[in-house]
Chain A
């Protein structure tokens, strides 16, 4: 029987840092995106697609999506941990959340690199 107190031992520190790091990445991307749609909105297909065809925007958008999905994982997991008390249901919801987010990541890559 290990008898220790789960306080002050950095539990969750890594996720706390990643939540903030991904937030900063998304915040910077949001500013870039606002400038971009300020000049070229989604008015015609060709100009809109060309926005994401350049290697910088494609990379930045990819980085945004990966940050978004990791950030969402931490946030939604926190919501399950706060409100869902039965362990089995909580685990099920966490697995479902992780599964759809991994799926979304594949989907986002496909959208960005299909053309």
Chain B
């Protein structure tokens, strides 16, 4: 039985431009991309944290870097990625507990994730960056 299930040929469509992802699918791929980008920028974030923590001199350099307009935009993007990963992650934990697995709730909870994560990004971004 299990062997048959493994060997069964399933239809495949991996033509990316023709795939229209539903909202939970968009949430899912942003969850993955945001995790990967946050991982790649860990050295930069650790360096920022180190600068802010080491001495008044390094703190001054940290402030200078963090107040650079380009860095502020990058940091705002990273805050959104973090908040999206955080909110979507909580949604996945609820799905693990079989909460909201039907289609309507899954779409609704995706909308909530986008709304809450963008709101948190604006609140935290304004608080921290400006």
**Interface residues of A, Cβ cutoff 8 Å to B:** 5, 7-8, 20, 23-24, 26-27, 30, 34, 37-38, 41-42, 45, 48-49, 52, 72, 75-76, 79, 100, 104, 107-108, 111-112, 114-115
Apart from the given pairs A38-B127, A76-B39, 11 other A-B contacts in the complex at a CB distance below 8 Å = A26-B86, A27-B90, A30-B86, A37-B128, A41-B127, A42-B62, A42-B66, A45-B55, A79-B36, A104-B46, A111-B54
Contact, CB under 8 Å: B93 / A24: yes
Question: Which of B3, B53, B128 counts the most chain A CB atoms within 10 A?
Answer: B53
Q: Does B42 contact A (CB under 8 A)?
A: yes
- Asked if residues A5 and B46 are in contact (CB atoms below 8 Å), the reply is no
Report whether over half of chain A's contact residues are helix, strand or loop; otherwise say mixed. helix
Number of A-B residue pairs with CB-CB distance less than 8 Å in the complex they form: 67
Cβ A111 vs Cβ B49 within 8 A: yes
| Partner of B35 from A7, A52, A75, A112 at Cβ < 8 Å | A75
